[in-house]
Structure 1
Amino acid sequence: MDTRLGLPNLGLGLGLRSQHFEHILEKNPAVDWFEVISENFMDSHGRPRYILQQIAEKYPVVMHGVSLSIGSTDPLNFDYLKSLKQLAAEVQPAWISDHLCWTGVLTTNSHDLLPLPLNEDSLKHVCNRIRQVQDYLERPLIVENPSTYAAFNNSTLPEWEFLRIMTEETGCGLLLDVNNVYVSSFNNDFDPVEYINGIPHNKVVQMHLAGHQNCGNYIIDTHDREVNSQVWKLFQQAYQLADQASILLEWDGNIPAFDVYHSELLKSKQYMDAAFVGVEKEVFSIDKEQVSNPLNLFAVDKFL
């Protein structure tokens, strides 16, 4: 039985960013696939949509959403789902993904990926909504673990256990964001290796890599720099357990030239080699040399 939902291993991919549109169309770089932010194209029928159509003719594409709000108490937004399904019919993505989070309530979108308590009630709620989404889209949903900055007192399940049960109950797949595991483990004081070991590896369809900002007492998932060395080592651990997953590098702030972006992705090849470096728990201690200046209080509140 194919436990990865019959979905392909696409190889090494990059997040599609508008700064690189012309380079991609003119140079046809040797990238295996691209991930697009669904909301950037769902309601656009101008140049961005035209560019996406051209790229989708040359490369496999995956649609990655940030506004499904699967954990919200609001009813599912079927206008949103209709636009999502229409874009998927046009682009023919390998799969559609979003986050284990909520983004708003009372019809207001916060445009943040907000955490939810992890307990039996929220698990039942999320599973019911995933089933509805999958029935409507007529395809499995791939769900990503978000980065978190606080834990709830009424959480009773570790996140990796929540994800395991969620996939079993709904048949959805996992998008394992390795950087998010590291960020959340530091902010919420759990062992990232235990997390990686505890997820259902045969349900990991895709992995994300990205850079973060270490502010000393907390880490912010900024996607604005190179991947941290400790995240690379955690990625190696994850890849040895889920080596059929497609790999994707995200970079959303201070976006470099395409060749720099691509070179960072290609670093993953050495960590995909089991013989490259060992992974031990102590490698995940704080690297003081990578601490950045703390963000201002407004910026921190945005994530909390």
Structure 2
Amino acid sequence: MNKIEKSAVGIGLRSPHYQAVLTSQPKVGFLEIHSENYFNAHSKNYYYLEQIAPDYPMSFHGIGLSLGSSEPISKQHLKKLKTLVDRFQPALISDHLSWCSLQGNFFNDLLPIPYTQEALNCFIDNVNQVQDYLQRQILIENPSSYLEYKNIEMSEPEFINNISQHTGCGLLLDLNNIYVSAINQQFSVQKYLDAIDHSAVQEIHLAGHTEKKIDNSRLLIDTHSTLVSQPVWDIYQQYIHTTHSDAVTLIEWDVELPTLDILLGEAGKATSIRDEASKKSLMAEVSL
């Protein structure tokens, strides 16, 4: 396993960029894949992963464990994930605070969870099952949301913190998701971040979103199809400067993919923010 250096910045490895990555070998801290796209060992995706993975630390980001489901975790899915993890030994493994399956049918979406004690107990049991099976810690990513359940018993940060505290899992903090949810539901990004257990955060996601106008109201949709917005860059800069987090950062772009150079440019912005925070921290220590 190639470890990811603290505070490293990475990009998602997507199929249109396979050859460019092999040819140019860009200097990035790590690469992230969507695990389910590599379950077939005879696929083109798997072939390229075998060529690229030896040169980069890897993060495996899943979308199909359906950890929030009241149904048992799919044994077939879990077995395929473990086979992939055992073969490539990624530095990080993650999935979402969501559910996506019912009676053996998988939906092409990450569906929301009601923040109740019953749902929390179910999620904790599922995370423990996955970590026990993989013999690895996993990270849980906060979702983007558009509506809120009426009968909730705790806030999203409280729900997430409880998962981490009761399972030992880490957190994947998606700052774009927080911003999208905050605009859609009109809550404070800062209050959300103040409530998170930052000691559990091991990875940060930055991505782009799309804005729609509906009856003179703004609706942000987490599309991962554009440049990171300036408000999200501002949140990231503030977060790094105030928490001094050494969590790694991923530039997430999944559809309407740009050229590799544009993706690397976004990674460069994150690296610059990281470097600036490190310099200020060092200067503060020297002045003491």
Provide the TM-score with structure 2 as the length reference.
Answer: 0.90
Identify the residue that residue 78 of structure 1 maps to in structure 2: 75
Q: 1:57 to 1:242 in 2, by over 3 A?
A: same
Per-residue CA deviation, residues 12-48 of structure 1 (Å, 9 max, x unaligned), is 1000011100011111111111000001101242321
Per-residue CA deviation, residues 47-93 of structure 1 (Å, 9 max, x unaligned), is 21111011111001110000110001121101100000000111110
Q: Distance in 2 between matches of 1:212 and 1:247?
A: 17
Q: Is the CA contact 1:34–1:61 (under 8 Å) kept in the aligned structure 2?
A: yes
Counterpart of 2:252 in structure 1: which amino acid?
E
Identify the residue that residue 264 of structure 1 maps to in structure 2: 266
Identify the residue that residue 286 of structure 2 maps to in structure 1: none
Tell whether 2:157 aligns with 1:160. yes
Counterpart of 1:244 in structure 2: which amino acid?
D
Alignment of 1:1-304 (within 5 A): 9=6, 11-216=8-213, 217-240=218-241, 241=243, 243-272=245-274, 273-274=276-277
Per-residue CA deviation, residues 205-233 of structure 1 (Å, 9 max, x unaligned), is 10000000111321000111111100111
Counterpart of 1:237 in structure 2: which amino acid?
Q
Q: Is the CA contact 2:175–2:236 (under 8 Å) kept in the aligned structure 1?
A: yes
Instruction: Report deviation, 1:133.
Output: 0.7
Q: Is the CA contact 1:10–1:60 (under 8 Å) kept in the aligned structure 2?
A: no
Q: Secondary structure at the match of 1:193?
A: helix
Q: Secondary structure at the match of 2:70?
A: coil
Q: 1:10 to 1:223 in 2, by over 3 A?
A: same
Q: Distance in 2 between matches of 1:207 and 1:124?
A: 25
Q: Secondary structure at the match of 2:249?
A: strand
CA-based RMSD of the aligned residues comes to 1.8
Q: Is the CA contact 1:101–1:113 (under 8 Å) kept in the aligned structure 2?
A: yes
Counterpart of 1:234 in structure 2: which amino acid?
I
Counterpart of 1:266 in structure 2: which amino acid?
G
Counterpart of 2:224 in structure 1: which amino acid?
H
Provide the TM-score with structure 1 as the length reference.
Answer: 0.86
Q: Is the CA contact 2:66–2:98 (under 8 Å) kept in the aligned structure 1?
A: yes
Q: 1:136 to 1:199 in 2, by over 3 A?
A: same
Q: Distance in 1 between matches of 2:65 and 2:206?
A: 21
Counterpart of 2:62 in structure 1: which amino acid?
G
Q: Distance in 1 between matches of 2:244 and 2:39?
A: 31
Q: Is the CA contact 1:270–1:276 (under 8 Å) kept in the aligned structure 2?
A: no
Q: Secondary structure at the match of 1:222?
A: coil
Gaps of 5+ in 1: 1-5, 278-304
Instruction: Report deviation, 1:204.
Output: 0.4
Q: Distance in 2 between matches of 1:50 and 1:248?
A: 23
Q: Is the CA contact 2:10–2:32 (under 8 Å) kept in the aligned structure 1?
A: yes
Q: 1:92 to 1:254 in 2, by over 3 A?
A: same
Identity %: 39
Per-residue CA deviation, residues 230-285 of structure 1 (Å, 9 max, x unaligned), is 011111222231521000001112211101110012111333334999xxxxxxxx
Instruction: Report deviation, 1:130.
Output: 0.6
Instruction: Report deviation, 1:94.
Output: 0.3
Q: Secondary structure at the match of 1:66?
A: coil
Q: 1:8 to 1:155 in 2, by over 3 A?
A: farther
Q: Distance in 2 between matches of 1:276 and 1:202?
A: 22
